[in-house]
Amino acid sequence: MDKKWVQVWGQAHSALSFFYYPSCKKTYRLVVKAPLSGSQVRFELSNECAKENVLIGALSVAKCDENGNILGEAKRVTVKGQGGFWLLKGQVCVTDPVKLNLAVNEYFCISVYVKKGALRSGNLIDDVKLITTKGNHVNTKAANDQKRIRDSVRKVASKVLGMYFHKPIPLFQSVQVLNNTASSSIVVYGDSISQQGYWTNMFNNRIRSEFSGKYSVINKSIMGNRVMLDFSRRFICKGLFGISAINRLERDVLNYPDVEYVVFALGTNDFLQYGTITTPKSEKPVVKEVFDTVVKITKKLNERGIKVIVFNILNFGECVDSRPEKEKMVHEYNKLLQENKSLFHAVYDQASLCVNPEKPTCSRLEYLGGDKLHPNMAGGKIVADNIDLNWFR
C-alpha cells in the first residue's frame, strides 16, 4: 500500500481578536488522539492573521497520555533543519517529518516554545486539548496548564452572549501522519454552529467507532463565517469571522490531497448577519446567489474527487437577530437545496429534524443554547445521531 500524508487534526485560521495570546516566553502543547495510524508526523504552523513576526525557540513531538504527559522520548522537530526560526506575519510553514509510530487512538503531543511575538492567528476549536505554560517546556514530561485572565473573560462572554467559546488554539494549522492504510479525511466546513463542537464532536465519535482507522474528521469551521462575503470591515473584531467559504476553499480544503468528503454546513450567517452590529444592511444577500456559490464550491471540490454533503440551515426564528424576511430567505434556500439535491453527494435536512411544529420558522427551544441560535448538547446530539453513515461507505 502506498504511503501518503493524511491530516489527523486541523483548523481554519482567522484573527483571534481579543482571544489572542500576548507576547511572552511560553510553551504551547497540543494533545491529539490519533484517529489513524502512521509512521511519521509533520505539522503546519500559521501566522497568517498576525500583526507581527513570531520567534519559535524549539519544537518537539512525543507520545503521551490523554493529559499531555510525555511517555518516553520527546523528539526534536525542525523546519528546514532549524530548531529555532522566525515565522513571519502572514507566513505558514511545514515542519520536517519525524519518525513516530502511532496506532489508532494513541495519544501524542506537539510542543512549541514561542520565544517572542503575540499569537493572533488561530481558532476556537473544541476537539483537542491545549496546554499553555510559561517557559521552555517542549521536553518537560508534565507541563502544567496555567490559566490566564483572558480565560475568565472568555467564560463571561460565553454566559453573556449565550454561546460556547472554547479555549483558543493559536499557531497550529494542521497535524499530519504518514499513513499506509488508504485512510482519508472528512472536512467539516462550517461556521460557529459546527465550530463549538456540539454536533461535530459526536459525529467524530460515530465515525471513529464505525470506521476505525479509515477516516479522520477535521473541523475547519469559523464563527460568523459566510459563504460569499469575507468578514465585514464594520465589525469591531475585524478578522474574527474569517474570509468567506469561497475564498478560503484552497487554503482549508483543496490544499490537502487526503480529503475525501466535505460536510458543508454554512449559510446561516449570510442570511442572519446583515443589519446587525457586525454587518451593514447593504450586505443583504440574494438567495439564488448564495445557492449558486454553494454549487460552484461543490463543483470545485468534485473536480478533485471530493464528495460534498450539504447541511441545510436550521431555523433561527427564536434568535434576537431574526426577522421575517430573513426567515423567508432561509426557507427559499433550503427549498433550493432539496429541489436540487442531485447536484450533491447528499443533502442533510437538519432543519426538519429540529423544527418546532408549532412555529415552523423556529427550532425547538430544548435543542438551543442561551442565544436561541446555536444548538446545545441535546441539539448537537440529535443532529449527529441522525447523519447517515452510509454516505461515507
Among residues 207, 210, 128, 219, the alpha carbon closest in space to that of 166 is found at 128
Position 185 scores a pLDDT of 98
Could you state, in order of their start, the residue ranges of all structural domains in the chain?
4-170, 183-392
Q: Looking at residue 157, what is its pLDDT?
A: 66
Q: What is the pLDDT of residue 1?
A: 62
Q: What share of the chain is helix, strand, coil (3-state, %, to 5)?
A: 25, 30, 45
pLDDT at res. 325? 98
**pLDDT band at 141, cuts 50/70/90?**
very high
Domain 183-392, CATH 3.40.50.1110 — does that match? yes
Give the three-state DSSP class for 188. strand
The closest alpha carbon to 8, from 107, 155, 113, 117, belongs to 107
Q: Is the pLDDT of residue 66 over 80?
A: yes
pLDDT of residue 81 exceeding 90:
yes
Q: What is the residue-averaged pLDDT of the chain?
A: 95
* pLDDT exceeds 80 at position 151: no
For residues 135-147, give the mean pLDDT.
92
Would you say residue 259 has pLDDT above 70? yes
Q: C-alpha grid cell for residue 345? A: 453527494
So what's the pLDDT on residue 163? 67
Q: Provide the pLDDT for residue 146.
A: 84
pLDDT score recorded for residue 2 = 85
d(CA 287, CA 271): 8
**What are the b/e assignments for 198-236, b being 16+ CB within 10 Å?**
bbbbbbbeebbeebebbbbbbbbbbbbbbbbbebbeebe
Place of cell 495570546: 21
> In which region does residue 242 sit, left (phi positive, over 0), alpha (psi from -120 to 50) or beta (all else)?
left
Over residues 272-286, mean pLDDT: 95
pLDDT of 162 reads 65
| Percentage of the chain modeled with pLDDT above 70 | 96
**CA gap 156, 380 in Å, rounded:** 22
Q: Are the CB atoms for 315 and 268 separated by under 8 Å?
A: no
Q: How far apart (Å, rounded) are the C-alpha atoms in residues 267 and 131?
A: 33
> Would the pLDDT of 328 be above 70?
yes
Q: Taking the model in full, what pTM does it have?
A: 0.95
CA–CA dist 356, 144 (Å, integer): 45
